[in-house]
Structure 1
Amino acid sequence: MVQYKWIALSNTSLGVFMGFMNANIVLISLPAIFRGIDVNPFTSFQYLLWVLFGYSIVSAILVVNIGRISDIFGRVRMYNLGFAIFTIGSILLYITPGTGSIAALQLIIYRIIQGIGGAFLMANSAAVLSEAFPPNQRGFALGLNGVIGIFGGIAGIILGGILASIYWRDVFLVSVPIGIAGTIWSYKSLKQLTPPNRNQSVDVIGNILYAIALILILVGITYGILPYGSSATGWTNPYVIASISSGVALFLVFLYVETKVKDPMFRIDLFKVRAFTMASLAIFFAQIAFGGLQLMLVLLLQAIWLPLHGIPYSQAPFWAGVYLLPLLAGFGIMGSIAGRLSDKYGARVLATVGLVILGAGLLGLTSLPYDFNYIIFATIIFIMGVGNGLFVSPNMASLINAAPPQHRGSASGIRAMLTNTGSTLSIGLFFTIVIDVLYLNLPGTLTSALTAVGAPQLAPIMAKIPPTAALFAAFLGYNPVKTILSQLPASIVNSIPSSVLATITGKYWFPTVIAPAFMDSLKIAFYFSATLVFIAAVISALRGRTVIYERDMMKTSDPK
């Protein structure tokens, strides 16, 4: 008979495979999706942000609540529910009925439903695994689980490229059979090994305060990226300032309330364990540093490198995913190895070295020109993937092992919340740095380039285009110059010589013009990111000895 731990590993791996696959399918297929619903890329970047961020924001808000509720009512039951909700969200995305902005809003709502299902899965998968595997095998199990997720990401890139070229709705349908199979299989095969403590009450006040606080913070970060008035970003928008400051204030109130209630949802007592605290902080800082990196590399490839190497804008999203496979491969190769090593040697050295490698890779990216040699680029991102794999599995095992068995749903929820919140904050910071630097440098650069090429009449128009719009147009697979020209009066377009039009709408002119300013902005972002990674490495090194709760702390007082 198959041991239960392998059943748990295979089922949770199916969940993480589906999650990673879905994330990359959506990322690769966004051009086809936005063309399919007929949305203009220059007026749709707020929709694009919410299609990208809605899932992670909702997951970040819910995972701690769900983790705590799962400790009370049963992790397996909540995990099963996650599969079902995710599948329902996928079906709704497939049948999205509208077009234009209405369809974009529908997609956002249905992605949020997917995010709710994803939160149930994320909050409980690590806890289900930690119950099924003994302490000396948890690193291996969590690492292998992550590696299978990477395979899901690779499958998402390939399937996204294929399905998006056939019919945009199919990119959502592919998750449905996996979701149905996972729902049935988890319902029939998973067992609740740690009895839920139903004598505890649900922390209603804490849940409400936490949800409102995190919604305000993450929504503020999202709208901080968008233009406001004459500013390239919205950080001076009074609503953004009020949203983030109110969210932070409410979060502080929430933390105070959690010290007073009998059964808190956010178990602050877990942070009394040094290994848990340092693992949590390392996750947060590393995720801020790394969470937005893949999106920035996708933009670099789609907006500049791929067009310069002859790839049409319409095909660039798919090829960007293909050219980033070394990053996933590095993580996949090292993830399971690092998890097994952490079971034997502990997490401190492995996770710390992994972060140092990741930081060195970020510094390596700053040395690249915009028309870089792909072999060098692939080597750097592969090494970064190795560093990330060396960090993630041991650090996650360290965090879960340090928590009491009956509170591992809460611990897993805290980990997922820190991951998703850090990722959203990371994307906001990366975009802010890139957009602000482009806002300062790009208008003058475009004016000079248009005058030199023989289209000075376009300079005042192009100089007013927000960098956000130009970047997102390229991200969605549109030629930014062609898209701008399509919206101008025919009299202006007809005044430009045909040879000049052919030059500025070709694959090479816009990437060449924007590249120096874009690379300057990316270098600043990479230096900032490397600094955060090295801070995370110091935190990781300070975690102390490996703590396995069942072995080291059963004789001490247990957080109640």
Structure 2
Amino acid sequence: MELFSSKPGDDGLPGRERGFAMAAVMTVTTMGVFDGSVVNIALPQIARSLNVSPAAAVWVSNGYLLSAAMTLAIFAALAARLGFRTLFALGLGLFTLSSLGCALSSSLAALTGMRLLQGIGGAATLSIAPAILRTVFPSRLLGRILGLNALLIAASTAIAPVLGGAMLSALSWQWLFVINVPLGAIAMALALRAIPGRSEAVNKPFDFVGAILSAVMLGGLILAASAFSQSDGQEVTSSTLTAAVAYGLVALIAGGMFIRCQRRAANPLLPLEIFRSARFSLAALTSLASFISQGMTFVALPFLFQSVYGYSAFASALLFLPWPAGIVLVAPHAGRLADRYSPAIISSVGLCIFACGLVLLALLPEHAQPWDVVARSLLCGIGFGCFQSPNNREMLSNVAREHSGYASGVLAIVRTFGQCLGTAFVGVILSATAQPALKNVIQQDLAVRLSLWAAAFATVMAIVFSISRLRDRAKQHKPV
């Protein structure tokens, strides 16, 4: 297999060691995706088991997201000081042990606390996973391995709800966390063997002020988004609006102070020089806009399938499967093409297909046939699969190799916040369309259509950012 064959002049690890490192990274990636998907499905059972309200149980999910988001930038900086292997192993160990703690929790407070720790461990591993793949594999294979990684995420996303639902029907919710323990042990053995350690000592002081400001900024954004996304289609109350505005202001102030601090710091948490590369910055903006779009669609479609069309939760899950299936079909080939041709062109084509799919979903008839829904969802998945791995390759390959950890952290941050902002936007639209004079089905149908059109608009913005890279490339190659 070409992924594990070596050629003269290859950077990275020898072929066999690549396989072990790839297995470690992809095992952890699968654990993270599976954990995030099945916990949401298990929330009703968790609420009943712990005798708490569904609203309180939501923090089992939000706590993980909050702690992960607040620490992404911190771990991207620590990677340069600790090395990939040490940071990955520490994060994996924390994630695995806190998974066991989740399974043993007998109260909501204990479970939420363990989920907070689990989010920190997950952030430590997932924030540097793409950077590890770049370090392990030669540059000529970077697009291909990122395509396989995208395939794995899509396949896990598709399988997780079905497998999780099957487990919950036969076992208690605690087993959803227990399964991480043996997988974590296997990944730890592989990681300690194959993932490279620190190549040279980095003894520069750590930017603690920048770390605190980044955590406050990212945490404030998550909390502001969560305040809107939990409205459940009800009108936004004054207290909810006040809380969201307060969190947003805190995030804005902390963000301004963070940027000022990074410009002045001798050893910044996040070197702003990586954004001097226009292609890197445009790829990051492209990723942010596309994940906003995907986040909106992932929240809107269940409302369309269940509340408007009247399908069951299981049937809705089946209708959703074509999206990740499209990514599985296309992502490896898109990654392979990105190693030979311009990733910006390939990702731009993918975004155009994605936008067409979203417009077709927004134009679904009132009584759509299942095959029609499947075809339009599949088109979205094909477009997103064509976009994702080439765009990730563009981000990682347009920074110096020693800054791979920072680039990987930025990639994780824009993905996380794109999805969170997309969820928040749907919450705002659901609240804005909640009118007493309208029937509930009509309200939700209107909200879904508006959300899908807004997602299509966000994708058009992503296309604009993506095409701008082509003009930037033309300028770079223009004869002087």
Shift of the 15–231 alpha-carbon distance from structure 1 to 2, 3 Å rule, reads: same
Cα distance, 1:377 vs structure 2: 0.7
Shift of the 304–95 alpha-carbon distance from structure 1 to 2, 3 Å rule, reads: farther
Instruction: Indicate the residue corresponding to 2:114 in structure 1.
Output: 110
Cα distance, 1:37 vs structure 2: 2.7
Instruction: Indicate the residue corresponding to 1:460 in structure 2.
Output: none
For residues 99-178 of structure 1, the aligned pairs below 5 Å read: 103=108, 105-166=109-170, 167-178=172-183
Q: Deviations for 1:398-428, whole angstroms, at most 9, x for unmatched residues?
A: 1001111111111101110111111111111
Shift of the 110–211 alpha-carbon distance from structure 1 to 2, 3 Å rule, reads: same
Identity %: 24
Instruction: Indicate the residue corresponding to 1:266 in structure 2.
Output: 270
CA distance in structure 2 between the partners assigned to 1:401 and 1:546 by the alignment: 15
Q: Deviations for 1:414-460, whole angstroms, at most 9, x for unmatched residues?
A: 110111111111111111112321x22xx3345xxxxxxxxxxxxxx
Secondary structure in structure 2 of the residue aligned to 1:418: helix
| AA at the equivalent of 2:205 | S
Picking from 390, 396, 406, the partner of 2:402 is: 406
For residues 287-436 of structure 1, the aligned pairs below 5 Å read: 287-305=291-309, 308-309=310-311, 311=312, 316=313, 318-436=314-432
| Aligned residues between the structures | 459
Asked if 2 retains the 8 angstrom alpha-carbon contact of 1:234 and 1:240, the reply is no
Instruction: Indicate the residue corresponding to 1:529 in structure 2.
Output: 455
For residues 59-98 of structure 1, the aligned pairs below 5 Å read: 59-98=68-107
Shift of the 546–117 alpha-carbon distance from structure 1 to 2, 3 Å rule, reads: farther
Cα distance, 1:361 vs structure 2: 1.3
| AA at the equivalent of 1:30 | L
Q: Deviations for 1:89-119, whole angstroms, at most 9, x for unmatched residues?
A: 2112212202xxxx2x443332222211110
Cα distance, 1:132 vs structure 2: 1.2
| AA at the equivalent of 1:182 | A
CA distance in structure 2 between the partners assigned to 1:117 and 1:292 by the alignment: 27
TM-score by length of 2: 0.90
**What do you get for the CA RMSD once the two structures are aligned?**
2.3
Secondary structure in structure 2 of the residue aligned to 1:115: helix
State which structure, 1 or 2, has the greater radius of gyration over its C-alpha atoms.
Answer: 1
CA distance in structure 2 between the partners assigned to 1:534 and 1:90 by the alignment: 40
CA distance in structure 1 between the partners assigned to 2:346 and 2:117 by the alignment: 37
CA distance in structure 2 between the partners assigned to 1:390 and 1:277 by the alignment: 20
Q: Deviations for 1:355-412, whole angstroms, at most 9, x for unmatched residues?
A: 1111111111111245421111111111111111111100001100111111111110
Cα distance, 1:248 vs structure 2: 0.5
| AA at the equivalent of 1:251 | G
- Does residue 1:444 correspond to 2:437, yes or no? yes
TM-score by length of 1: 0.77
Asked if 2 retains the 8 angstrom alpha-carbon contact of 1:265 and 1:410, the reply is no
Picking from 176, 180, 195, the partner of 1:190 is: 195
CA distance in structure 2 between the partners assigned to 1:331 and 1:110 by the alignment: 32
CA distance in structure 1 between the partners assigned to 2:238 and 2:15 by the alignment: 55
Cα distance, 1:197 vs structure 2: 4.3
CA distance in structure 2 between the partners assigned to 1:408 and 1:2 by the alignment: 21
Instruction: Indicate the residue corresponding to 1:10 in structure 2.
Output: 23
Shift of the 19–530 alpha-carbon distance from structure 1 to 2, 3 Å rule, reads: same
Shift of the 369–113 alpha-carbon distance from structure 1 to 2, 3 Å rule, reads: farther
Shift of the 222–37 alpha-carbon distance from structure 1 to 2, 3 Å rule, reads: same
Shift of the 113–299 alpha-carbon distance from structure 1 to 2, 3 Å rule, reads: farther
CA distance in structure 2 between the partners assigned to 1:234 and 1:369 by the alignment: 36
Cα distance, 1:236 vs structure 2: 6.4
Q: Deviations for 1:7-40, whole angstroms, at most 9, x for unmatched residues?
A: 2222211111111222222233333333333344
- Does residue 1:31 correspond to 2:27, yes or no? no
CA distance in structure 2 between the partners assigned to 1:20 and 1:270 by the alignment: 28
Could you tell me which runs of 5 or more consecutive residues in structure 2 were left unpaired when the two chains were aligned: 1-13
- Does residue 1:21 correspond to 2:30, yes or no? no
CA distance in structure 1 between the partners assigned to 2:227 and 2:332 by the alignment: 38
Secondary structure in structure 2 of the residue aligned to 1:538: helix
Secondary structure in structure 2 of the residue aligned to 1:291: helix
